[in-house]
Amino acid sequence: MTYGDEQLKEALERHPCFNSDAHKKFARMHIPVAPLCNIQCNYCNRKFDCCNESRPGVTSEVLSPEEAASKVAYVKERVPELSVVGRAGPGDPLANESTFRSLEIIGNENPDLTLCVSTNGLALPENAQRLFDAGVRFVTVTMNACDPAIGSRIYGNVRYNGEVLKGIPAAELLIEKQTEGIRSCSDLGMVVKVNIVMIPGINEEHIPELVRYVKDKGAYIVNILPLIPVDGTPFASLRSPTPLERKRLMDQCSLDARMMRHCRQCRADAIGLLGEDRSQEFVHISGCTGGCGSGGKPLNVDSPGSKNRNHVAVATSDGVRVDCGFGSSPSFHIYDVSSDEPFKMREVGISLNTSSAGDEHRAHIRNIIDRLGDCGTVIVREIGPMPSKTLANLGIDVITSSDMIDDVLRNMCCPRQ
């Protein structure tokens, strides 16, 4: 879809996140096709399957591009206000090739829907033209500092071209890429929104300077978000800014840039009008083309070619030891072991309220496999013959162990002689 000026103006009028007049009339749908992330923010914990939390990074399922397309068709029939389909996680869309496949499928099937992507900006410069060519005209970049000294306090690490950076070098690289990406998207004719997380004691005094900085690079609108302290993160003990503190900052910054004031800090699988999330109505219906509901056929499983041996799923109840079987684990911790120091990418929660036999159990096993995304290796305490055979057919390696997770992973990176 190629936008002329009038088409882009019309799309802007129907985009609930970029236009405050649109958010009570038009709905958006976030499709969670991007589980992997290339940075680690100190406020982020991408916990899956938590229907009681509404914040960025949370989703009840991760979909393949084909499943996402089926789900868009299903939702579109039931949410006539739908105007925008966005990719907003639970990881970073540009760190996942599935983002671009989903753009291709959904864009071709739904030329009337606006395509949108939200990213941390690290991989944006090399993908700006690719997004534009795929029909994306709205891009959101989360940028929390333009001063590396401040950025180094916000980001735990940045992973780029196989290298893991920390501290000032990590922040310098990220800021450079974010700056270049915002400018490139703006030059191409895309509408850019910049999200800034307001973190008391870290960056709140710096935000006015940052707003002026991104406006100069081409940002159309700025969204100042309050920090949500999340358990299990370095910023868990920090406080959120008060509504009055945030309003005062937005009022101050509105002298330099257009402010978004109606954000709801949506989940990665949000559906519906802003403030009226309906995502839980549509959980686990992605394998159908209509009418199957939550009791429909199980999600499809990715092909063996999409698996990555360096992405390892560990069955664990406490995050310390491999202590669970494949089908009985309440959670899987997902690690990247491509370097000498394995790092945790995310945690996947698993519902255990299912039968241990029959069709329901088979659906449960297939759902686990789908939830593990592109993992090419699974580490479990034990595994039955049926899931073992299913994993083998998909080309997924299985390791059985009851050792400490750190020991098992380091042995994979640096095998003992």
Indicate whether 304 pLDDT > 60. no
Residue 16 confidence class, pLDDT cut points 50, 70, 90: low
Supply the pLDDT for residue 387. 85
What is the pairing mode between strands 343-349 and 114-119?
Answer: unpaired
Six token digits for residue 405: 């997770």
Indicate whether 23 pLDDT > 60. no
Mean pLDDT on 330-341: 85
d(CA 270, CA 274): 9
Supply the pLDDT for residue 51. 37
Mean pLDDT on 234-248: 90
Which residues touch 186 (CB under 8 Å, ≥6 apart)? 192, 217, 218, 219, 220
pTM of the model: 0.65
Residue 1 confidence class, pLDDT cut points 50, 70, 90: very low
Nearest Cα to 394, choosing from 365, 355, 352, 360?
Answer: 365
Indicate whether 403 pLDDT > 60. yes
Indicate whether 145 pLDDT > 90. yes
Indicate whether 373 pLDDT > 80. yes
Q: pLDDT digits over 152-193, tens only?
A: 999 999 999 989 999 999 999 999 999 999 999 999 999 999
Mean pLDDT on 295-315: 59
Which residue segments constitute the domains of the chain, with CATH numbers given? Answer: 5-282 (3.20.20.70), 304-413 (3.30.420.130)
Q: Whole-number mean pLDDT of the chain?
A: 82
Supply the pLDDT for residue 106. 92
Nearest Cα to 84, choosing from 66, 72, 94?
Answer: 72
